[in-house]
């Protein structure tokens, strides 16, 4: 029994009836619950206490309710407006020191020469009568009466090159200097003359710095083409100097009539859009992106996939597609391209930056010296055949060096939203950045105090349990 008591004394050594002390030497007391009210909480507690007059409580309660309701309504309204991201277009005019002359395509409205068709393809009787059908403009007899397959032995690229009509440039001036020599390109509108000015600039507005070109053609040696039923030739202008980036759009074209001076006045329009409302994508046929080129590429691919062949004036799409024959071009390519629905090209967003030209077209008489030159020229045989010769001319110039800028801007920016949010919250709720920081700091302080109280209460409970065990053990030992 004595041994057992020694063991118990050793086991419960340190147990006593004295109070529990902390490490600092003070008596450990049970933690007390504390609630601290500061700032707005103190004001609200005093406001709604029973010690405050009922009239005052009602007045301040109405003010508090009204202010809170208005603040919540204003904040929610501004939040909805901000999420809708409203924008508007701001237009301004800026004068530049110089403007870049666009590149020019000159395409005959008659894409084929009747004389060259008969001369180069004598075995195909009256082939020129089927040119309209070749471009999808003739009546559709499903190939039975027309028998277009008899022309399928003619390679399409050779046919387009060997039957192109002749356009003879008579006079071309740009900035009162001779124009560069044109190159010839195969396009959807036939063999066209291409004038590249290598980003040449115009620093003086008006006709004196214009591009002026006189072209002669044989009016009696015409058939038809994509631009059928219109005499003369068509002028296409593009703001891009890269050959692979050029796209010929009817919206940027002008018909040049015979025996008339076609004056084209260009007005540059520059558009800039914000990122959420614009975009870009990689194109296979063009180096840079525009919405028009995206639509053109979409139509090219859709037409070639439908017809399973490749017309020579289209970019190469798939190597397994052979060159189209005469009948395939007439029955499929032309019809599909003419009736293509561009709304099916859904993934063609507008670019974030774009440059287009608005135009004003006027037709007038030639100047007297030019008229004498034309009469003299018509008496010659410059075109290689004796027939009627017509001359068309056009003049392109900028009336001023002004560029109209169209910029999209946010009607409700992030800065404005934060400003109105802070105004609504601060005026009626008394909320500011400092108060928000104080509230966050107060929450962290309360959390830290609560954690400290929990730890202290747990430590006190453990020590009290140990003390009770010691008391019980001593009582048991005293009875032995």
**What DSSP designation does 249 have?**
-
Q: Is 133 part of a structural domain of the chain?
A: yes
- Structural domains in the chain (count): 1
pLDDT at 34: 52
Confidence tier at 240 by pLDDT (50, 70, 90): low
CATH number of the domain to which 259 belongs? 2.60.470.10
Q: Is 389 part of a structural domain of the chain?
A: yes
Q: Is 34 part of a structural domain of the chain?
A: no
E-strand spans in 327-475?
353-364, 389-397, 402-410
The residue range of the domain holding 182 is 96-409
The model's pLDDT over 48-74, given as tens digits with 9 standing for 90+, comes to 666 777 777 777 777 777 877 877 888
**Residue for token pair 């800039």:** 272
Q: Is 384 part of a structural domain of the chain?
A: yes
Q: Is 424 part of a structural domain of the chain?
A: no
Residues in CB range of 383: below 8 A, 6 or more apart: 166, 168, 216, 217, 218, 389
Q: Is 46 part of a structural domain of the chain?
A: no
The model's pLDDT over 339-372, given as tens digits with 9 standing for 90+, comes to 999 888 888 898 998 888 888 999 988 877 777 7
Interhelix angle 2-11/433-479, rounded to 10 degrees, is 170
Please determine, for residue 13, whether its predicted confidence score (pLDDT) is greater than 90: no
Question: What letters, b where the CB count within 10 A reaches 16 and e where it falls short, cover 34-60?
Answer: eeeeeeeeeeeeeeeeeeeeeeeeeee
d(CA 225, CA 357): 26
Within 10 A of 235 (CB to CB), how many other CB atoms are there? 23
pLDDT at 35: 52
Taking Cα atoms as reference points, which of 21, 61, 19, 69 lies closest to residue 44? 61
**What DSSP designation does 310 have?**
B
- CB contact at 8 A, 225 and 190: yes
Strand partners, 171: 214
Please determine, for residue 246, whether its predicted confidence score (pLDDT) is greater than 60: no
Handedness of CA 284, 288, 289, 295 (dihedral sign): negative
**Residue for token pair 């291409």:** 194
d(CA 110, CA 204): 36
pLDDT at 227: 62
Taking Cα atoms as reference points, which of 89, 444, 112, 104 lies closest to residue 269? 89
Confidence tier at 443 by pLDDT (50, 70, 90): confident
Q: Is 4 part of a structural domain of the chain?
A: no
Mean pLDDT of 409-431: 71
State residue 254 phi and psi, 5-degree precision: -145, 135
The model's pLDDT over 104-130, given as tens digits with 9 standing for 90+, comes to 899 888 888 888 998 999 888 788 888
The model's pLDDT over 251-267, given as tens digits with 9 standing for 90+, comes to 788 888 888 899 999 99
d(CA 13, CA 6): 10
């Amino acid at each position: 029994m004595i041994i057992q008591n020694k063991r118990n004394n050793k086991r419960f050594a340190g147990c006593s009836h004295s109070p529990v002390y902390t490490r600092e030497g003070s008596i450990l007391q049970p933690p007390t619950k504390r609630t601290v009210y500061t700032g707005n909480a103190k004001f609200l507690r005093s406001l709604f206490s029973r010690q405050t007059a009922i009239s005052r409580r009602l007045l301040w309660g109405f003010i508090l309710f009204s202010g809170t309701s208005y603040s919540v309504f204003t904040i929610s309204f501004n939040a909805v407006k901000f999420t809708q991201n409203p924008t508007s277009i701001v237009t301004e005019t800026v004068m530049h020191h110089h403007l870049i002359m666009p590149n020019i395509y000159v395409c005959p409205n008659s894409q084929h020469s009747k004389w060259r068709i008969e001369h180069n393809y004598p075995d195909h009787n009256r082939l020129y009568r089927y040119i309209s059908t070749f471009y999808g403009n003739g009546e559709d007899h499903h190939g039975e009466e027309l028998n277009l397959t008899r022309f399928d032995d003619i390679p399409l690229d050779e046919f387009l090159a060997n039957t192109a009509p002749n356009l003879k440039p008579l006079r071309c001036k740009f900035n009162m200097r001779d124009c560069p020599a044109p190159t010839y390109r195969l396009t959807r509108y036939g063999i066209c003359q291409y004038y590249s000015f290598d980003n040449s600039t115009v620093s003086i507005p008006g006709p004196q710095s214009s591009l002026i070109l006189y072209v002669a053609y044989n009016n009696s040696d015409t058939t038809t083409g994509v631009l059928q039923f219109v005499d003369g030739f068509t002028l296409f202008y593009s703001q891009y100097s890269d050959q692979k980036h050029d796209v010929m759009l009817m919206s940027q074209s002008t018909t040049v009539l015979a025996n008339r001076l076609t004056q084209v006045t260009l007005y540059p329009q520059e558009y800039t859009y914000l990122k959420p409302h614009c975009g870009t994508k990689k194109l296979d046929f063009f180096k840079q992106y525009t919405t028009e080129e995206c639509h053109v590429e979409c139509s090219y691919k859709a037409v070639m996939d439908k017809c399973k062949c490749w017309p020579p004036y289209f970019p190469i799409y798939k190597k397994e597609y052979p060159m189209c024959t005469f009948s395939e071009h007439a029955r499929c390519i032309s019809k599909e391209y003419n009736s293509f629905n561009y709304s099916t090209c859904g993934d063609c967003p507008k670019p974030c930056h774009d440059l287009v030209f608005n135009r004003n077209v006027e037709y007038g008489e030639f100047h007297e010296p030019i008229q004498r030159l034309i009469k003299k020229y018509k008496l010659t045989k410059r075109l290689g055949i004796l027939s009627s010769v017509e001359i068309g001319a056009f003049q392109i110039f900028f009336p001023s060096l002004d560029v109209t800028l169209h910029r999209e801007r946010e009607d409700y920016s992030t800065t404005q939203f934060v400003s109105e949010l802070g105004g609504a919250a601060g005026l009626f709720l008394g909320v500011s950045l400092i108060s928000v920081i104080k509230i966050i700091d107060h929450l962290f302080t309360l959390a830290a105090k609560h954690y400290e109280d929990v730890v202290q209460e747990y430590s006190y409970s453990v020590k009290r349990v140990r003390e009770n065990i010691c008391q019980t053990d001593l009582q048991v030992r005293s009875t032995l």
